[in-house]
């Protein structure tokens, strides 16, 4: 840190990720508002706490093992090599704490480790962690009003600190085996966050079952309307806002693309932002595409839902998610059309799956995140067919079949099946679903009665003063 320019690059990078974390916090604020607004009055306090408490639980477990998984599991392990050593990411590493980059006290760390990770580790960890919260929070909305909070928190740790970060190691890192062997490309996480979270939610819902009263005896679904539609819409607006931070966090802000171990072009430098695969991109490009895919999604959703506010807002989100895999490279009008196309498909799929399989997804998360993410990955395979998946030599190019296989891995292998198995275990132990009587009267029975008693006591106190 003795050279002003190189120090500026390091401190800018540190600050850049820190800012993304603050923006992404708004995603969680939005999810909490959305879920509370979508739940019925008699369960909203438990709904809020269910989502809130995933924050500390996923945070500490991501500290204990999630961060290490990201670096250690890039080869599978066992698919393209063994476990990779990552001494800067273990919970006992001195680099998982305040560090000035000087002499290490632990033998496992090299001089390069301390120089590189001392200022980046915490903010980079936090940027990934906020993705972890998002993955768990997506699942949270779909299971409201009948899952036991304790069961949800175990499932939240499973997706937030284990399965999603395995998929990031495999398909969302510069050296993941899916990138190297399949040419997997998912720049803004259509698959690695949204498809896996949607698939995970579906796996839980299959075992959990619908809310009481959701389906008529003949199987016709009933609408269970949000108790506060305004909270829902503000929540979704906040999720849009936080999504900006999410997009920016997916980039590396400044790197010499011609230097280091990548292209290694002699006597030339090219400083640029890159995506997670270290392929150059610009904030300008992704800003065009974020807004155009959002607009495509909103417009299509407004048409297919006949102006339904809930689905129009969700469609905006699905539009972005559907284009995200290739939003580093698409033309803005391509991003808009992809966003619109994806929304038409996922809207129809949501209602078809609801009727056909009696799946009660309270907030449409499986469709908005899962199906849109899956489609986004597959569409990128056709749109970006033949593009190099990485600046590194020897990696497979992007193909439709590599992307299709990648989407299957994200949605089913790391999303649906782990959730199905974990939910069946929890259900077998009687821990998955709340007791029937409590579901009927609402989880907040104690809170509501206490509130009524407090109000009565206050009324009487005021009367006695009068």
Partner 1 sequence: MATGMIENWGNIDVYGPIYPFVGSEGFLAIAGIAFWIIWHIWQLKAESREFEEDVEKIKQRGGVGSVLDAEAKRETSDLTGG
127-141: b (≥16 Cβ within 10 Å) or e: bbbbbbbbbbbbbbb
Binding-residue total with partner 1 (CB under 8 A): 44
Say if residues 394 and 216 touch (Cβ distance below 8 Å). no
Out of 60, 421, 457, 461, the residue judged to bind partner 1 by CB under 8 A:
60
Among 15-23, 90-98, 171-179, 368-376, which window interacts with partner 1 (CB under 8 A)?
90-98
226 binds partner 1 (CB under 8 A): no
Q: Which is nearer to partner 1, 153 or 172 (CB)?
A: 153
8 A C-beta contact, residue 279 and residue 327: no
- Burial-class residue 103 by CB neighbours within 10 Å (0-12, 13-18, 19+): exposed
Pick from 284, 435, 463, 465 the residue near partner 1 by CB under 8 A. Answer: 435
- Residue 111 in contact with partner 1, rule: CB under 8 A: no
441 binds partner 1 (CB under 8 A): yes
- Work out how close the CB of 436 gets to partner 1 at its nearest, in angstroms, rounded to a whole number: 9
41 vs 351, which CB is nearer to partner 1?
A: 41
Stretch that binds partner 1, among 73-81, 283-291, 295-303, 446-454 (CB under 8 A): 446-454
Using CB under 8 A as the binding rule, whether residue 431 contacts partner 1 is answered as yes
Note the maximum CA span of the chain.
88
464 contributes a contact to partner 1 by CB under 8 A: no
Report the residue number, 100 or 466, with the smaller CB distance to partner 1.
100
Residue among 191, 232, 244, 189 nearest 363 (CA): 232
List alpha helices for 326-399, DSSP H.
332-357, 365, 372-383
| R_g of the chain computed on alpha carbons | 23
Specify the stretch interacting with partner 1 by CB under 8 A; choose among 4-12, 134-142, 408-416, 439-447. 439-447
In 3D space, the residue among 184, 376, 378 whose CA is nearest the CA of residue 277 turns out to be 184
Under the binding rule (CB under 8 A), the answer on residue 103 touching partner 1 is: yes
Interaction between residue 267 and partner 1 (CB under 8 A): no
17 close to 120: Cβ distance less than 8 angstroms: yes
CB of 97 to partner 1, least distance (A): 5
Using CB under 8 A as the binding rule, whether residue 219 contacts partner 1 is answered as no
Q: Which of 28, 44, 99, 119 binds partner 1 (CB under 8 A)?
A: 99
Contact status: 48 vs partner 1 (CB under 8 A):
no
Report the residue from 14, 256, 308, 448 that binds partner 1 according to the rule CB under 8 A. 448
Residue 53, burial from CB neighbour count under 10 angstroms (0-12, 13-18, 19+):
middle
Name the segment binding partner 1 (CB under 8 A); options: 84-92, 199-207, 258-266, 273-281. Answer: 84-92
Angle value at C-alpha 59, between 54 and 61, nearest 5 degrees: 100
The CA distance from 169 to 186, in Å, is: 12
* Spatial separation of the C-alpha atoms in residues 10 and 22, rounded to whole Å: 19
Binding positions for partner 1, 138-197, rule CB under 8 A: 148-150, 153-154
| Residues found in the chain | 466
Q: Which is nearer to partner 1, 70 or 290 (CB)?
A: 70
Q: Is 124 in the site for partner 1 (CB under 8 A)?
A: no
Q: Please report whether residue 120 would count as binding partner 1 according to CB under 8 A.
A: no
Residue 134 binds partner 1, judged by CB under 8 A? no
Tell me phi and psi for residue 455, to 5 degrees. Answer: -65, -40
Among 4, 92, 356, 462, binds partner 1 (CB under 8 A): 92
The verdict on 437 binding partner 1 (CB under 8 A) reads yes
Q: Indicate the SS3 state at residue 249.
A: helix
Pick one of 452, 453, 454, 460: the residue that binds partner 1 (CB under 8 A): 452
What 3-state class would DSSP assign to 39?
coil
In order of 192, 230, 282, the CA distances from 186 in angstroms are: 7, 33, 16
280 part of the interface to partner 1, by CB under 8 A: no
- Asked whether position 100 contacts partner 1 by CB under 8 A, the answer is yes
The span from the CA of 256 to the CA of 254, in Å, is 7
Of 104 and 252, which CB lies nearer to partner 1 in the complex structure? Answer: 104
Minimum CB distance to partner 1 smaller for 154 or for 181: 154
Q: Which of 405, 416, 448 is nearest to 142 (CA)?
A: 416
- Contacting positions for partner 1 (CB under 8 A): 1-2, 41-42, 57, 60-61, 63-64, 90-94, 96-106, 114, 118, 148-150, 153-154, 431, 434-435, 437-438, 440-442, 445-446, 448, 452
């Amino acid at each position: 840190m003795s050279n002003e320019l190189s120090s500026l690059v390091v401190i800018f990078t540190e600050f850049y990720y820190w800012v993304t974390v603050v923006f992404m916090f708004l995603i969680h604020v939005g999810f909490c508002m959305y879920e509370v607004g979508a739940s019925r009055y008699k369960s909203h306090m438990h709904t809020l706490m269910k989502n809130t408490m995933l924050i500390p639980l996923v945070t500490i477990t991501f500290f204990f093992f999630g961060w290490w998984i990201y670096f250690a599991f890039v080869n599978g392990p066992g698919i393209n090599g063994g476990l990779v050593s990552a001494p800067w990411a273990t919970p006992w590493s001195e680099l998982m704490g305040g560090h000035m980059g000087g002499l290490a006290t632990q033998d496992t760390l090299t001089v390069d480790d301390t120089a590189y990770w001392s200022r980046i580790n915490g903010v980079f960890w936090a940027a990934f962690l906020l993705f972890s919260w998002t993955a768990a929070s997506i699942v949270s909305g779909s299971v409201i009003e009948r899952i036991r909070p304790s069961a949800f928190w175990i499932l939240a740790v499973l997706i937030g600190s284990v399965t999603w970060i395995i998929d990031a190691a495999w398909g969302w890192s510069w050296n993941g085996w899916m990138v190297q062997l399949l040419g997997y490309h998912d720049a803004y996480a259509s698959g690695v966050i949204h498809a896996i979270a949607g698939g995970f939610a579906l796996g839980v819902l299959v075992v959990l079952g619908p809310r009481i009263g959701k389906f008529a005896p003949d199987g016709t679904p009933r609408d269970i309307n949000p108790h506060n539609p305004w909270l829902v819409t503000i929540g979704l607006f906040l999720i849009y806002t936080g999504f900006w931070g999410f997009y920016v966090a997916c980039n590396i802000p400044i790197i010499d693309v011609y230097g280091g171990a990548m292209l290694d072009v002699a006597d030339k430098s090219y400083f640029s932002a890159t995506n997670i695969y270290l392929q150059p991109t610009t904030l300008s490009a992704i800003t065009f595409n974020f807004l155009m895919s959002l607009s495509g999604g909103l417009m299509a959703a407004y048409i297919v839902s006949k102006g339904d506010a809930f689905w129009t807002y969700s469609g905006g989100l699905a539009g972005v998610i559907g284009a995200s895999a290739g939003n580093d490279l698409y033309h803005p009008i391509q991003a808009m059309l992809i966003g619109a196309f994806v929304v038409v498909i996922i809207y129809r799929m949501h209602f078809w799956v609801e009727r056909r399989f009696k799946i009660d997804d309270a907030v449409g998360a499986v469709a908005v995140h899962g199906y849109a993410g899956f489609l986004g990955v597959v569409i990128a395979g056709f749109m970006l067919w033949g593009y190099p998946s990485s600046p590194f030599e020897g990696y497979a190019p992007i193909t439709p079949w590599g992307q299709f296989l990648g989407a299957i891995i994200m949605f089913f292998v790391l999303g649906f099946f782990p959730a199905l198995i974990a939910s069946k275990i929890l259900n077998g132990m009687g821990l998955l679903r709340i007791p029937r009587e409590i579901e009927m009267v609402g989880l907040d029975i104690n809170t509501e009665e206490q509130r009524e008693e407090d109000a009565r006591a206050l009324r009487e106190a005021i009367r006695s003063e009068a």
